[in-house]
Chains A and B, each alone.
Chain A
Amino acid sequence: MKNRTFLCCFAVTAISVLVSCAGRSAMRLEKLADVTLTGNYQSAIESIRKNPNLYGKNSQLLYNLDIGVLFHYAHMYDSSNLYLQRAADIYNELFTRSVTNEAAAILVNDNVRPYRGMPFELTMMHQLITFNYLAKGDVDEALVEVRRAQLLFDELERKDRKDTKYSSDGMFHYVASIAYDAVGESDNSMISLYKSIKAFQNGPVPLPRPIGEFAYRMFILNDRPDDNVQLGLKGGEDTEGAENFTNNSSEIVFIGYAGRGPSLDEKVWRGTYVKDGLLVVNHVGPNGVVETISRPAPYIADSEIKKASKGKTTSSGTTFHIKFALPALKKTPSRTAGFSVRCSGISQTFSSIVINDLEKQAQKYLDDTKAATLSRTVVRVVLRTIAAQKAKAEIQTGNALANLFLNVGTDVLTDQMERADTRSCFLLPRTVQIARIPVKPGTYSLDVSTHDKSGNIIGTRKFVDVEVKARRKTFVFYSSFK
């Protein structure tokens, strides 16, 4: 009777966990992955609102982030800010960690934790809020958001004691520099430009040459030659358009979102954990290539092992065959590589430059967190393996067939419980690109062409009545997810 009760509890827990968590990421991907392709953002938003179960209560940040992103693509900036601000508030609330959630994550998997977002996603959240204000011409509020994001960067920097992880963002500071310049705050603009170059130099997205050239000229112009020395910047002869910029000049800023951003998939690893010894696990890719992780086995306190096996301790050298899943980057192929912009009254064609690459950012995040995720996962799987073995031993009956079913059932449930946390905001673009067009105050039209890798035009879009006021920046947004 006691055994049956235990089995029932185990099965119910496992099934409820499987139903509630495991499938959601995959379902979301299946339902929403293509919405950016069709461009029907509003119906996608409706679909999300009608199916909050696609997210669940532990992914409220993601829910609001996704809707905010879609509203931004649909050029509905107020609505976008409403959801993105909610996402930002949720992130702040999640500073306080729930003991029960963390304990559940140790028992089940990382999906039962509230989603806190990857750092580069949080930057994109602040970036899109900033863009929304800039699109509305509200530079003061855009700058409030810039200052708010700086608190996030400060917090990331504080956590990253080795100064190797993502704690600043070249794109964000570059846009902040433009926004400060729009209100005539040249000093703040130069400080943001300095931070931008530094972040590009330390981050996974390389410093675009035109931005380096532009920064060099602006530092000279603003009597900050030391910044060039510190950043190792050198001026070039053929700086495309950089000579046209002065402090607080009028310009059209084109922001392009190119290609579909990455999502997360799970990679299954199998291998052996030797207590107080070695961990060796392998992953066999779809093309048969075998990857191996071999490192000292993560330490598990004896008291934890004792608890898992209800009294029986394991000695050094005890081996466990384990299977677990870790998140892995899943790239989504896109034809869109970049944009070119022609502005009425100007003969020059402006090519966009990549200021953020979310594939590279996501890969860096996975690399940065791999060791911690691996240790946490292995400890959890080993403890659960011990518990499952104990459970199987306790529920043995006199019937061989029943024993077989119970053993297989326990193994399957244990196996299925271990799922990687693959939640991510895959609606973000693959790259964010910029083209800055210095103009005199007036009204202009823009012809935007979308290019593939070979430079072929795969799409065009015309923007009319783009009004630029004296010493102001007008932001124009366009996305191509082909």
Chain B
Amino acid sequence: MIFKPKAILCLLMFFLLIVGCSTKVTRVQSDSTIDITGKWNDTDSRLVAEEMIRDCLSQRWLYKWESENRRPTVIVGKIVNKSHEHISVETFVKDVERALLNSGKVDFVATKTEREQLRDEKADMAENASVQTRKDMGEETGADLMMIGTINSIPDQDGGKAVVFYQTNMELVEIESNRKVWIGEKKIKKYVERAKVRF
């Protein structure tokens, strides 16, 4: 058998081309940081939520409840996306809820949409469920505090270079008195550079 260097080289290049073009998937840790486009991503969402809640739960407003040996009931209200990116606010809200609930320092109630679903379910139970298992209307836990917030961004770009500044503001408001008991903010600044040319 005669080996021709040129043929081998061609074959090698062909295989490299095939391998280079094929889809490659690698499982990574869900809390690993991977930035591809520079846009707001899961890492930003998680980091902001965790840091906000850590700050929130370390402030003085909680002492009032702890001294009464009570856990406040919190609801996450509207987090308005005022940025220039379509951010999945729902994911962010869930991150906030998870961080709050896992702290064990507060109780949680379902959001407005979830409550409507639960009420529908109870209405259905009233007709169809057995008396022993039926859940009654009017027994819901009212929230003491509502968490609201905004996600803002200031982009500054010129050609392939961009600086994006995200500022997330969150506030905890007492529902009965409209008193703000905590205000937190988290800032993220990113520098994104895009290549002008590729092969």
Chain A positions within 8 Å of B, measured between CB atoms, are: 85, 92, 95-100, 140-141, 143-145, 147-148, 150-151, 154-155, 158
Contact = CB atoms under 8 A, between A and B. Distances in A.
Nearest to A95: B194
Interface in B13-39: 37
23 contacts: A85-B86, A92-B37, A95-B160, A96-B160, A96-B194, A96-B196, A96-B197, A97-B197, A98-B198, A98-B199, A99-B199, A100-B199, A140-B80, A140-B81, A144-B81, A144-B84, A144-B85, A147-B83, A147-B84, A148-B86, A154-B157, A158-B158, A158-B159
Interface string B152-185: 0101011110000000000000000000000000
Nearest to B80: A140
Query: 3 smallest A-B Cβ distances: which pairs?
Result: A147-B84, A96-B195, A148-B84
B82 interface: yes
B164 to A, nearest CB: 10
Q: Is the interface of B mostly helix, strand, loop or mixed?
A: loop
A141 B199 contact: no
Interface in B66-122: 80-87
Nearest to A145: B86
A99 B157 contact: no
Contacts, number: 49
Nearest to A158: B158
A147 B198 CA distance: 29
Contacts of A148: 84-86
Q: Is the interface of A mostly helix, strand, loop or mixed?
A: helix
A144 B198 CA distance: 30
Nearest to A129: B86
A85 B83 CA distance: 16
A147 B86 CA distance: 10
A141 B80 CA distance: 9
Given A92-B37, A144-B83, A154-B157, 18 more contacts: A95-B194, A95-B196, A96-B194, A96-B196, A97-B198, A98-B199, A99-B197, A99-B198, A140-B81, A140-B82, A141-B81, A144-B81, A144-B84, A144-B86, A145-B86, A148-B84, A150-B84, A151-B84
Nearest to A150: B84
| Best-buried of A143, A144, A145, A150 by chain B (most CB within 10 Å) | A144
B44 to A, nearest CB: 16
Nearest to B84: A147
Contacts of B195: 96
Contacts of B87: 144
B155 A151 contact: yes
Contacts of B86: 85, 141, 144-145, 148
A99 B197 CA distance: 6
A170 B195 CA distance: 32
A99 B198 CA distance: 6
A469 to B, nearest CB: 16
B82 A143 contact: yes
A195 to B, nearest CB: 16
Contacts of A145: 86
A100 B198 CA distance: 8
A155 B161 CA distance: 11
Given A95-B194, A99-B199, A155 B81 contact: no
Contacts of B153: 147
A150 B84 CA distance: 9
